[in-house]
A and B are shown apart, each in its own frame.
Chain A
């Protein structure tokens, strides 16, 4: 039965339906593997009984012919999603032992689709980080290692636990969230697929808020098809999120096609930046060839404000974070530390002890750029540049149907290797523009670098055109033939 864990979600679903194995056998295999993979530090909470209960319900319903789409599939859930009665801490000390009395809409949708939960997945604190090193639970260790080395590598972030869990086959799929690359960069580092849909496709209700105008949930899994399956279950209109799109959920899986005949592939010239390893650009060129082979015609496009996307993001995201995180005051939930100065002292002491360094840094930047006298110079200016970035993409999509770029400017780096905050922020240089424009974007594994570490290719689609992104992803997947898995050391 050990081969069960190597299967894709589509294979598990179909095998379960065909009676090759029971849902309980699937859940058992994954529960055991989760319990045996503590060295990775990917899970913050394990919920084997939850996975088993969903599996038993699936087994019972199997004969009925009325199975929900994810019956028999256990999933890992990023710790940013509220899960009823199960610790939801966003990787922060300030939410220690917080047990939501409600379920986030995305998790409720997955449960409605029949999925069970293997546990909660570790992440950068409040999703602020690109390496998982800011988690209050300590960093996730990537299952990948450089050839001939036992140096611990980061799985990327912030959805690093999700990426590591899928790569190590201790979850067939997982939820992630992406504010400025937090699904795509870890997917690239871990050699898996991950898609951030159009802003508004997945309800944000019950997802711990970081930067509300950017936060989007999405799936992470081994294959493009698995991402399509999961996204269909996760997405959908929700009245409880004022930015939720009131649109039907397309049949992304059914409409998968790697035939890109007649499609134009945009190659943005501004994404050829200095200091990116040659291997990354070589893989990018290979990706262009693969998509040409699938029928697409490459066209050079220009996204002139690309270079301003990161600084724009690092005004808008901290500003929204400083507002969102004002709720952690030691009154309604989470940590409380008594100060020596009444109510204000309690607030300040609680937040000083509850937040980690990166979160404090971003709250401070956000508070500064929103403060009297600086608001227009920083925040309004950034919102104007964001409008220009959005416009760049709108113009580009008059000339092309999908855009191809690298996902990240490097392969996974070692834990503790990147200490300068600014250098860390540069990880998301290729991912952030699509976030600022609210566009669907996906990372698909393209190959291994010289050290044996995965590299990802990044597809950006027009608003609401997840199908084009998935189809181009499938075309890459079929041609890249990426089958590498980390060698087990944990």
Chain B
């Protein structure tokens, strides 16, 4: 079931990547090629197989719910393209 240009446009929107019609048209056959190829997994009988979740068996560790870090606001903001008054700044979202 090939992916249409409209579907590719929708995926690009979900992924938040701006794409021109030209790019969509170039990408659609590439994606279809790759998706067509991975579809061979349909040949594998996976009835009753549990999906793998941890590649090496181990227990998820818990830690005490205490503060272990902090007071590094300026370091956190140091790489921000825009920061004001100790906060990340983004384009206005509320009128």
Residues of A within 8 A of B (CB): 98-101, 198-200, 213-214, 239, 242-243, 245-246, 305, 308, 311-312, 314-315, 322, 326, 329-336, 338-339, 342-349, 351-352, 355, 360-361, 363-365, 367-368, 371, 378, 380-388, 390, 421-422, 436-438, 463
Q: How far is the CA of A399 from the CA of B27 in the complex (A)?
A: 45
Q: What residues on B are CB-neighbors of A246 within 8 Å?
A: 58, 61
Residue of A nearest to B10 (CB): A371
Question: A4 to nearest B CB, angstroms?
Answer: 37
Evaluate contact between A381 and B79: CB separation under 8 angstroms: no
Q: How far is the CA of A448 from the CA of B7 in the complex (A)?
A: 47
Please judge, given known A-B contacts A101-B78, A361-B27, A382-B41, whether A332 and B52 are in contact too, CB under 8 Å: no
Q: How far is the CA of A68 from the CA of B3 in the complex (A)?
A: 56
Evaluate contact between A364 and B15: CB separation under 8 angstroms: yes
Residue interface mask B10-26, A partner, CB < 8 A = 1: 01111111110000000
Q: What residues on B are CB-neighbors of A436 within 8 Å?
A: 55
**Which of B13, B30, B38, B56 meets A314, CB within 8 Å?**
B38
Residues of B within 8 A of A (CB): 3, 7-8, 11-19, 27, 30-31, 33-35, 37-44, 46, 49-56, 58, 60-61, 63, 72, 75-76, 78-82, 88, 90-93
Evaluate contact between B34 and A421: CB separation under 8 angstroms: yes
Evaluate contact between A384 and B38: CB separation under 8 angstroms: no
Q: Name the prevailing secondary structure of the A interface residues.
A: helix
Evaluate contact between A422 and B34: CB separation under 8 angstroms: yes
Q: How far is the CA of A280 from the CA of B27 in the complex (A)?
A: 34
Evaluate contact between A367 and B11: CB separation under 8 angstroms: yes
Evaluate contact between B41 and A311: CB separation under 8 angstroms: yes
Given A243-B56, A314-B34, A384-B52, 13 more A-B residue pairs with CB atoms under 8 Å apart are: A199-B56, A246-B58, A308-B43, A326-B16, A332-B88, A336-B81, A336-B82, A343-B93, A351-B17, A361-B31, A361-B34, A383-B51, A385-B46
Q: What residues on B are CB-neighbors of A242 within 8 Å?
A: 60-61
Q: What residues on B are CB-neighbors of A344 within 8 Å?
A: 16
List 9 A-B pairs, Cβ < 8 Å: A343-B90, A348-B13, A348-B17, A364-B31, A365-B31, A367-B15, A386-B52, A388-B49, A438-B56
Q: What residues on B are CB-neighbors of A348 within 8 Å?
A: 13, 16-18
Please judge, given known A-B contacts A342-B93, A355-B17, A364-B11, whether A421 and B44 are in contact too, CB under 8 Å: no
Evaluate contact between A387 and B27: CB separation under 8 angstroms: no
Interface centre among B14, B33, B42 (most CB of A within 10 A): B14
Q: How far is the CA of A339 from the CA of B53 in the complex (A)?
A: 38
**4 A-B pairs with the lowest CB-CB distances in the bound complex, closest first:** A383-B51, A438-B55, A336-B81, A333-B79
Evaluate contact between B78 and A243: CB separation under 8 angstroms: no
Q: How far is the CA of A242 from the CA of B56 in the complex (A)?
A: 12
Evaluate contact between B46 and A330: CB separation under 8 angstroms: no
